[in-house]
Amino acid sequence: MTTDVSPSFRGTRLASKDIENVVEVDGLVVRYGRGDRAVTAVDGVSFTARAGQVTAVLGPNGAGKTSTIEVCEGLRRRTTGTVRVLGLDPAGSRADRAALHRRVGVMLQEGGIYPSARPIDTVRQYCGIHSGSATSSPDELLDLVGLTDRRRTPWRRLSGGEKQRLSLALALTSRPDVVFLDEPTSGVDVNGRDTIRSIIRSLTERGCGVILATHELDEAERIADRVVIFDRGKVLVEGTLDDVRKARQAVRLRTIRPLPLPDMPASIADWLHEVEPGHYTIEDAPQGLVAALAVWLSEHGIDVIELRAGVASLEDVFKKLTGGEP
């Protein structure tokens, strides 16, 4: 498994480093169907993604993430709104779209490769298609994603993680200025995740903007610089990872058994938000509350798994905002 990114892949910083916002979405609306059957998948979404940063797009199923990203990739038409990728309109003139296709890397959530195709042939095909802009060789790309030993194995016989890494290699054939990665670590083992994180870091180091759609909040928390949380077609929050987490200072409490909330003093119980039985959070806790809680738990012999004060985890923020699982 390769975890070091080769020097030739790192290359020089991008010529477009002067573009600060690689993706700008303003008031995007995407509707499917017509008349009574029309469904609004994306409802007035606005956000930006910056060069040299990883922007994680989070949200439950059906939140509008994929529709939004596919509009940015040029795969889907928007109903209204403005979208600019590297300053160009993905639904604009043929020249705009051709320019974007040379500078944008796309990793689909799944598929995109013929089952009988071998990794070496597929990467060669995509390097050939990007013949004007590809600077990494097929062998370099396969080495980069740790598939050199599987270069002649048909795609259908690759593991889920190997398929993801091959798909990532295809997204990198053009040495893109912006990359859209849809669930890049889904089904990938620990070593494979290290490889993918290393590649993403190398992309941002050379100024590439990475837009990452994922359900895996831990993964987003590890590598994202900015976070955009979607729910029901709208953006609930957007900002740097630190800002989003700090905005929701929280105390997190996990107990072995559910707390007897009705029996607890109101001065403590009123602050407790029950995420699920045995899992509680307190937002904006007043001074002394955590100490009082700790004393009460101790006096009543309640076994505590975790009592942590500080910034909220991304998972806490996500659940609070969307009311559910990613």
Partner 1 sequence: MSGPLRAQLGAELRILVRNGEQLLLTIIIPVLVLVFFGLTDVLPSDLDDHMDFLTPGVVALAIMSTSMVSLGIATGFERNYKVLKRLGVTPLGRPRWLVAKTLTVMVVEVVQLALLVPIALALDWNADDARWLLALGAVGAGTIAFAGLGLFIAGRLRAEVNLAAQNGLYIVLLLLGGMVVPFDELPGGLEAVAKFLPSGALADVLRDALVGAGSQPDTSWIVLGAWAIAAPVAAALTFRWE
Interface ranges with partner 1 (CB under 8 A): 73-75, 98, 101-102, 104, 106, 108, 110-117, 121-122, 124-133, 170, 174
**Backbone φ, ψ for residue 199 (5° rounding):** -65, -45
* Nearer to partner 1 (CB atom), residue 101 or residue 234: 101
> What's the closest the beta carbon of residue 10 comes to partner 1, in angstroms?
23
CA atoms within 13 A on the CB side of 275: 22
> What's the closest the beta carbon of residue 284 comes to partner 1, in angstroms?
44
Whether 39 and 32 have beta carbons less than 8 Å apart is answered as: yes
> What's the closest the beta carbon of residue 173 comes to partner 1, in angstroms?
9
* Nearer to partner 1 (CB atom), residue 147 or residue 220: 147
**What single DSSP character describes residue 186?**
T
Measured distance between the N- and C-terminal CA atoms of the chain, rounded to whole angstroms: 30
Residue 257 one-letter amino acid: R
> What's the closest the beta carbon of residue 153 comes to partner 1, in angstroms?
13
Q: What is the CA radius of gyration of the chain?
A: 23
Q: In this structure, what token pair is assigned to residue 249? A: 């200072």
How many Cβ atoms sit within 10 Å of the Cβ of residue 11? 13
Residue of 315, 318, 251 whose CA lies nearest to 285: 251
> What's the closest the beta carbon of residue 16 comes to partner 1, in angstroms?
17
> What's the closest the beta carbon of residue 66 comes to partner 1, in angstroms?
12
Longest dimension (CA), the chain: 72
* Nearer to partner 1 (CB atom), residue 110 or residue 274: 110
* Nearer to partner 1 (CB atom), residue 2 or residue 174: 174
* Nearer to partner 1 (CB atom), residue 151 or residue 248: 151
* Nearer to partner 1 (CB atom), residue 116 or residue 298: 116
Q: How long a stretch of residues is the chain? A: 326
3-state secondary structure of 307: strand
* Nearer to partner 1 (CB atom), residue 90 or residue 146: 90
Residue of 178, 183, 209 whose CA lies nearest to 196: 183
Residue of 241, 314, 258, 309 whose CA lies nearest to 281: 309
> What's the closest the beta carbon of residue 216 comes to partner 1, in angstroms?
21
> What's the closest the beta carbon of residue 129 comes to partner 1, in angstroms?
4
* Nearer to partner 1 (CB atom), residue 171 or residue 217: 171
Residue 26 one-letter amino acid: D
Q: How far is CA 266 from the centre of its chain?
A: 40
